[in-house]
Amino acid sequence: MIYPATETFIHEAAHSIRLGGVVAFPTETVYGLGANALNAEAVAKIFEIKQRPFFDPLIVHVASHEMTREVVATLPDIALRCMKAFWPGPLTLVLPKSAIIPQIVTAGLDTVAVRMPEHEVAQKLIHASGVPIAAPSANPFGYLSPTTAEHVFSQLGDKVEIILDGGKCPVGVESTIIKIEDEGIVLLRYGGIPVEDIEAVAGKVSVIRKQEVEAPGQLPYHYAPETKIVLVKDVSKIPDDSSYGIIMYKKRDVAFKNIHIMYLSDDGDLRQAAANLFTCLHALDALRLSVIYAEEIPEIGLGKAIMDRLKKAQARHS
Ligand code: AMP
Ligand code: MG
């Protein structure tokens, strides 16, 4: 059920987490499906609800630096610099794990992904629970991430007892994930913090393609709606058919009468575009169209994360 994220319901949700339950809650990126990260059985329920493969590790959400130190084995200087610059916020750090994190959380890896969310409800929930919260996005594996409580309910329904409603997620795309290695920083997923910003405070970020998939963000398709997605440079050539949808980058006058049009931004603001991305995809997907066309956007800053999600959605049907 959906409950408003008042103090009362946050405390009820925290109580459920302490008892080994699973709750959905808002973060600034997307809605998460959380459980006590220190309780393997509780975390197993997340995989069951999401139908998520066990090879796919979860992000551990913390609300203090003290909690961070409990879940990692080492905190190198470069990680501290990133934390200082971007936490709380949409940056996830992959670091050597401590012994208290169960294997199920990290899919057997000796590293753990950690993030301190900025969303007030997420912070309050973690504080009230008193434990780090392991949470992937609150959607079935591979499908569009939820950016409203209604998205969570329509995708997971009664499988989640408590869905805390904190409104629409302000960032709207998942966190950027970086791995901190001795040799430097490796990008595992584009997301809410632009790579350029990380490089400005922590030096070069390499975007190497590893053989093994470390983040499903690296799978060829993910974040996909049911409807076929086709990326296009020039939307003016699309036939004006009512079985089509278009996601346009900016608002402008177009000749279409029949096509279902949604806009990512008013005038090209990438932050606004990111925040609206999954909302547009969810809305058009619900119309059961034959194709959703998506206008290509500039691959700079947050545009990289947006295009990454659109390309992965397109790859599902090609
Ligand atoms: P989600 O929360 O559903 O957006 O997914 C979390 C992402 O973090 C997935 O892409 C995971 O593969 C990635 N991740 C979590 N832990 C690790 C880790 N130890 N090493 C690499 N990637 C990780
Ligand atoms: Mg996800």
What is the rounded distance in angstroms from the CA atom of residue 35 to the CA atom of residue 20?
Answer: 7
For the structural domain made of 2-207, what CATH number should be given?
3.90.870.10
Q: Is the CB of 146 under 6 A from ligand 1?
A: no
Query: Ligand 1 atom 10: the closest Cα is on which residue?
Result: 215
Q: Is the CB of 111 under 6 A from ligand 1?
A: yes
Query: Ligand 1 atom 5: the closest Cα is on which residue?
Result: 136
Smallest-distance ligand from the CA of 33 = 1
Check residue 224 and give its pLDDT.
84
Model confidence at 95: pLDDT above 90: yes
Check residue 217 and give its pLDDT.
58
Helices 77-86 + 195-202 axis angle, to 10: 130
The C-alpha R_g of the chain, in whole angstroms, comes to 19
Distance 240 CA to ligand 1 centre (A): 40
Model confidence at 281: pLDDT above 90: yes
Q: Is the CB of 106 under 6 A from ligand 1?
A: yes
Q: Is the CB of 161 under 6 A from ligand 1?
A: no
| Substitution site in 50, 59, 72 for ligand 1 pocket (most atoms within 8 Å of beta carbon) | 59
What is the rounded distance in angstroms from the CA atom of residue 297 to the CA atom of residue 250?
Answer: 9
Q: Is the CB of 30 under 6 A from ligand 1?
A: no
Query: What's the Cα-to-Cα distance from 294 to each of 223, 240, 291, rounded to whole Å?
Result: 14, 15, 10
Smallest-distance ligand from the CA of 135 = 1
Distance 256 CA to ligand 2 centre (A): 34
What is the rounded distance in angstroms from the CA atom of residue 25 to the CA atom of residue 308?
Answer: 25
Check residue 209 and give its pLDDT.
62
Check residue 223 and give its pLDDT.
78
Q: Is the CB of 21 under 6 A from ligand 1?
A: no
Check residue 212 and give its pLDDT.
52
Alpha-carbon dihedral sign for residues 64, 213, 313, 295:
positive
- Note the Cα 51 to chain centre separation in Å: 17
Mean pLDDT (the chain) is 94
Smallest-distance ligand from the CA of 219 = 1
Distance 172 CA to ligand 1 centre (A): 17
pTM, whole model, 2 decimals?
Answer: 0.92
The pLDDT tens digits of the residues spanning 22-68 come to 999 999 999 999 999 999 999 999 999 999 988 899 999 999 999 99
Does 88 sit behind a cis peptide bond, omega within 30 degrees of 0 on the bond before it? yes
- Architecture of the domain whose range is 228-316: 3-Layer(aba) Sandwich (3.40)
Model confidence at 126, pLDDT cuts 50, 70, 90, reads: very high
Domain ranges of the chain: 2-207, 228-316
Q: Which atom of ligand 1 is nearest to the CA of 213?
A: 12
The pLDDT tens digits of the residues spanning 201-230 come to 999 999 876 545 555 555 666 778 999 999
The pLDDT tens digits of the residues spanning 63-90 come to 999 999 999 999 999 999 999 999 999 9
Q: β-pairing, 23-25 with 32-36?
A: antiparallel
